[in-house]
Structure 1
Amino acid sequence: MIVLSEDSQRTSGRDAQSMNITAGKAVAESVRTTLGPKGMDKMLVDSSGGVVVTNDGVTILKEMDIDHPAANMIVEVSETQEDEVGDGTTTAVVIAGELLDQAEELIESDIHPTTLAQGYRQAAEKAKELLAEDAIDVSAEDREELVKIASTAMTGKGAESAKDHLAELVVDAVLAVQDEDGIDTDNVSVEKVVGGSIDNSELVEGVIVDKERVDDNMPYMVEDANVALFDGALEVKETEIDAEVNVTDPDQLQQFLDQEEKQLKEMVDKLADAGADVVFVGDGIDDMAQHYLAQEGILAVRRAKNSDLKRLARATGARVVGNLDDIEESDLGFAGSVAQKDVGGDERIFVEDVEDAKAVTMILRGGTEHVVDEVERAIDDSLGVVRVTLEDGKVLPGGGAPETDLALELRDFADSVGGREQLAVEAFADALEVIPRTLAENAGLDPIDSLVDLRARHDAGEFGAGLDAYTGEVIDMEAEGVTEPLRVKTQAIESATEAAVMILRIDDVIAAGDLSGGQVGDDDGDDGGAPGGMGGGMGGMGGMGGMGGAM
């Protein structure tokens, strides 16, 4: 017996499962039309009137105000996919939704959810094994292949019109920041500029700091610059305790001010003696210090972010110092050019011509802010897939080819699985075919005809046969250069399966308060109130209901 407060609500058994499955399917349905090169965009308007136009699955789900806990589990699938790989977020969510849809039919046929969960896990493990066996090896030196992978990740997104140019920039950027520790794409900074066309986007092998020099008397440009990085303030230190200075004579005041100036002059002299031509300061710079720096011909920037200092250190080879008393010539970095330039009406500091650019900056341009934002999202996806490809060295053909092949292989595998789990494995195989089917639907093709053609080609042993969304024909995706990293697919299958299994294993929802703006179950804890629970459950997806018209 469970004793609940008056505000608590409960849904049990088949009703709870049905409510959660419906919520999960609704999330998947909301992004399904964005899948593939012919996917549509969504316009999301927040409560303050801000507008986001995108077809990036994880962005759509983050922007939507989703309250339902089961629906949020599906949202987490997209976030995990984004964090681990950078691309394939919509694929992961759509597969999760279809696994739930297939499970619903089996539950209605009295297959127990635990049996389903077991079968799904077996199918997922087998699927990952099969994908690893069929994956195509890619060499890190094969630049042409890397460019194709980067280009595939941008297909169907706002950056598609300039994907060839942008793919080259992405590959250059990832190869530049690669080191013995691996690849950290955080070292690829993105600066967005509204104005010009996407084709005007460029890669700067170095760092762009969104600041200006602190004094107009400082040089605009310094060539062959020794760069100092100081994570502190060029200001007179304040006392750490409350203190008063009583001045009884004008001469004493002058001595006090002279002493402050002397301290500031000593700080600047230490930078000059070390040989610094440019200094980036993490905190403030006193007006008098600015004057002395300008006299020495040193270009100075204040309040540089920690992330900027780290990237400048990687790019120039400088060491970030916390105390100017210790600064030496060996702490300085080098840049062939440090200059203040105008970019789209904003002045920024460019640190370029570095010996080994382990931090780079991409300048993305576009006609409107919405365009530039969507290009940035496409670039993020593309950076992720190139990174993963270099790390793993394995890719798969696109166009729904891996999913079609897995579906056939898993149906054969199901025959070797005993018990009712066999039905779950077959359901898993059917669920995977949602990807080629959706690609066909979004391209305006007949999904049944497309799926029949794909199955026939894969039955004949053509692993790379995928759907060309532009012509409607089934072609060899590998030969066409349409490939994506192995990890995109394995991670999508793994995350989708885990989320679906977790949702299916829930047979009781006890909410401390109103779960979803509607009645979830009767307060007396019995299984009644299912219709209210379902209605409430979906209503509780908050922004989803409101966004429906916008989509």
Structure 2
Amino acid sequence: MFGVEARALMLEGVNELADAVQVTMGPKGRNVVIELSYGTPKITKDGVTVARSMAFENRVKNVGAALVKQVANATNAVAGDGTTLATVLARSIFAEGTKSVAAGMNAMDLRRGMNMAVDTVVEYLKSKAKTISTPTEYAQVASISANGDAEVGDLVAKALEKVGKEGVITISEGKTLENELEVIDGLKLDRGYLLTNFITNTRTQKCELDDPLILVHEKKISEASKLKPLLQLVVKLQRPLFIVADDVVGEALTALVVNKVRAGLKVCVIKAPGFGSYRIDHLLDFVALTGSKLISESTSLKLEDVTVEMLGNAKKIIVTKDDTIILGAVGDKQVIQERRDEVTSQLKKATAKFDKEKLEQRLSRLSGGVAVIKVGGASDVEISEKKDRVVDALNSARAAAYEGIVPGGGVALLQASRELDKIKTTNFEEKVGVQIIQIAMKIPAYIIAANAGYEASMVVGKLLEKIENDSFGFDAAQGEYVDMFKAGIVDPVKVLRRAIQDAVSVSTLLTTTEAVVYPNYTSNSNSNLHYN
């Protein structure tokens, strides 16, 4: 399929996708109900969740929608929020670009103009960014991202205050009606005890070790004879023993259980976290945090030669069947900082999403502190919907910590649109490309006002009249014109920047598309694959 016909069908798919996504935008955005292939339907206000759930029978429409889904996914992957914004911007840019190409304009010149405009918008946003550091500011950013839920904003702000922006914050499903925040001052490993024999508290089904010695072994431990000197040492010191190893089996495992039962030795074993090449990285992080030495061939340290100096220390270790929490680990601060610097350097060079996630987890662990936000609700459907908003709120607050904030509600983009008048272009098509971005920058404020039930054209017109006032904006939740900073209505620059860049990247490709190739499986042939 070629030319105008191909672009028109792709635009249909983009329009239907954007229509479903944009209803979630703003403090008075609506829910979207998604039918799942199994279980109860999902209710959400999360733009990327809505986008991912949509597909079309028409293959060309599906191509257009799939590319805009890519915009939402890309923005979500980097900024963690802003997926709805990216989707509506992509639709606007593609729609206006398609009109211009249909009118006979040069698509490549249009693209150059759009890229010039985006660079100007990004530079403007960076120049107006306000750094944030207080819990109140974090709460404001998080609340906006959670569709105006102040409780969620406060919860996220408290979590960040406790563990820092690099700290571990996990979001789980709670068991009560209320949201809860649990802060663990320590290190959490996703590994539970090897045997229930190690349990010290039968009521809670946990193994709790106070002031333990910590052995970290890279390989599998199977020989009791090699373990004997270590057991004699910990019995002499009258301290519990915590072992992290690839595995403990056979005679060695039996020896530990027998010593616990007969000699009263408090001991617990977990398997080393991670897998493959990541396992050794996790172990090296762990030895740095606990002040232990890694027993392995690479360090030339042997199990049978272990001394107390090779063992790590912690104030308390709590092990359940699923995970381990180490409290008050005693590691050398300089060694920990060196590990942290090394991981930070690797993170800057990483390109694969999986590698980035693993490195971010390691950096969080080395930064110390674990916060768990437990999302409560009356039903699984309610908890799932709230959990989506909490995830967005956390990601948005973290994004704000890195690149700062600007007035929210689409105001910053409206202000940036005025800066585009200053761009000098070399031809008419480039100027039209700039104008396409200028139109797109007005769309978010329009949709937010419309979703709240107000006359959007009048709202946007009023905001443009007061454009010289950097913080003047419209509070769609209250229906009032306010100082956006004072009202706490703000957007993270990182989220806006990524949404704009990702939207333009895909939209310009769609605008410059002249043909669509897709497989056509004909009903009268089982062997031949035809292409249109």
Deviation track 1:31-55 (CA, whole Å, cap 9, x = no partner) reads 1111122222323333233643322
Residue 395 of structure 2 corresponds to 384
CA contact (8 A) 1:150 1:171 kept: no
**In structure 1, what is the Cα distance between the partners aligned to 2:96 and 2:150?**
34
**In structure 1, what is the Cα distance between the partners aligned to 2:160 and 2:386?**
12
Residue 99 of structure 1 corresponds to 93
Following TM superposition, by how much is the alpha carbon of 1:22 offset from its aligned partner in structure 2, in angstroms? Answer: 2.4
Q: Secondary structure at the match of 2:516?
A: strand
Residue 498 of structure 2 corresponds to 491
Deviation track 1:460-501 (CA, whole Å, cap 9, x = no partner) reads x11222221211122111122332322211211111111100
**In structure 1, what is the Cα distance between the partners aligned to 2:495 and 2:519?**
38
Task: Mark the CA change 1:494 to 1:321 in structure 2 (over 3 Å): closer, same or farther.
Answer: farther
CA contact (8 A) 1:312 1:359 kept: no
CA contact (8 A) 1:25 1:98 kept: no
**In structure 1, what is the Cα distance between the partners aligned to 2:292 and 2:491?**
37
CA contact (8 A) 1:218 1:298 kept: no
1:348-363 equivalences under 5 Å are 349-354=324-329, 358-363=367-372
Residue 411 of structure 2 corresponds to 401
1:234-313 equivalences under 5 Å are 234=221, 236=222, 262=225, 265=228, 277-283=241-247, 285-286=249-250, 288-292=254-258, 294=260, 295=263, 297-306=265-274
TM-score (norm 2): 0.76
Task: Mark the CA change 1:278 to 1:489 in structure 2 (over 3 Å): closer, same or farther.
Answer: same
- 1:53 and 2:43 correspond: yes
Task: Mark the CA change 1:470 to 1:382 in structure 2 (over 3 Å): closer, same or farther.
Answer: closer
Residue 215 of structure 1 corresponds to 196
**In structure 1, what is the Cα distance between the partners aligned to 2:310 and 2:51?**
46
Deviation track 1:143-202 (CA, whole Å, cap 9, x = no partner) reads 54344334433344xx65432133211343334x4xxxxxxxxx6152624312443222
Task: Mark the CA change 1:457 to 1:45 in structure 2 (over 3 Å): closer, same or farther.
Answer: same
Residue 549 of structure 1 corresponds to none
Residue 242 of structure 1 corresponds to none
Residue 302 of structure 2 corresponds to 325
Q: Secondary structure at the match of 1:433?
A: helix
Deviation track 1:311-331 (CA, whole Å, cap 9, x = no partner) reads 755754555555682555455
1:99-498 equivalences under 5 Å are 99-136=93-130, 138=131, 140=133, 142-156=134-148, 160-175=150-165, 177=166, 188-190=168-170, 192-209=172-189, 212-213=192-193, 214-216=195-197, 218-219=199-200, 220-234=207-221, 236=222, 262=225, 265=228, 277-283=241-247, 285-286=249-250, 288-292=254-258, 294=260, 295=263, 297-306=265-274, 316-318=290-292, 321-322=295-296, 325-326=302-303, 329-340=308-319, 349-354=324-329, 358-365=367-374, 366-367=376-377, 368-392=379-403, 394-410=404-420, 412-413=421-422, 418-458=427-467, 461-498=468-505
1:495-510 equivalences under 5 Å are 495-510=502-517
Following TM superposition, by how much is the alpha carbon of 1:57 offset from its aligned partner in structure 2, in angstroms? Answer: 2.0
**In structure 1, what is the Cα distance between the partners aligned to 2:391 and 2:292?**
28
CA contact (8 A) 1:44 1:64 kept: no
Following TM superposition, by how much is the alpha carbon of 1:421 offset from its aligned partner in structure 2, in angstroms? Answer: 2.1
**In structure 2, what is the Cα distance between the partners aligned to 1:390 and 1:471?**
27
Question: Would you say how many aligned residue pairs link Structure 1 and Structure 2?
Answer: 462
Q: Identify which range, 439-448 or 357-366, moves more after superposition.
A: 357-366
Q: Secondary structure at the match of 2:145?
A: helix
Task: Mark the CA change 1:369 to 1:387 in structure 2 (over 3 Å): closer, same or farther.
Answer: same
Residue 29 of structure 1 corresponds to 19
Following TM superposition, by how much is the alpha carbon of 1:72 offset from its aligned partner in structure 2, in angstroms? Answer: 2.0
CA contact (8 A) 1:205 1:354 kept: no
RMSD (Å), alpha carbons: 3.4
Task: Mark the CA change 1:115 to 1:52 in structure 2 (over 3 Å): closer, same or farther.
Answer: same
Following TM superposition, by how much is the alpha carbon of 1:436 offset from its aligned partner in structure 2, in angstroms? Answer: 0.5
Following TM superposition, by how much is the alpha carbon of 1:371 offset from its aligned partner in structure 2, in angstroms? Answer: 4.4
Amino acid at match of 1:335: A
Match of 1:72 among 56, 61, 66: 66
TM-score (norm 1): 0.73
CA contact (8 A) 2:197 2:257 kept: no
- 1:89 and 2:83 correspond: yes
CA contact (8 A) 1:42 1:55 kept: yes
Alignment gaps of 5+ in structure 1: 1-10, 178-186, 237-259, 516-522, 526-551
**In structure 1, what is the Cα distance between the partners aligned to 2:138 and 2:97?**
38
**In structure 2, what is the Cα distance between the partners aligned to 1:293 and 1:396?**
62
Following TM superposition, by how much is the alpha carbon of 1:208 offset from its aligned partner in structure 2, in angstroms? Answer: 3.9
Deviation track 1:259-311 (CA, whole Å, cap 9, x = no partner) reads x6546656756887897622234435455144146346343243453189567
Amino acid at match of 2:13: A
CA contact (8 A) 1:206 1:354 kept: yes
Following TM superposition, by how much is the alpha carbon of 1:100 offset from its aligned partner in structure 2, in angstroms? Answer: 1.2
Q: Secondary structure at the match of 1:471?
A: coil
Report percent identity of matched pairs: 20
Amino acid at match of 2:327: E
**In structure 1, what is the Cα distance between the partners aligned to 2:244 and 2:42?**
35
Amino acid at match of 2:402: E
CA contact (8 A) 1:194 1:369 kept: no
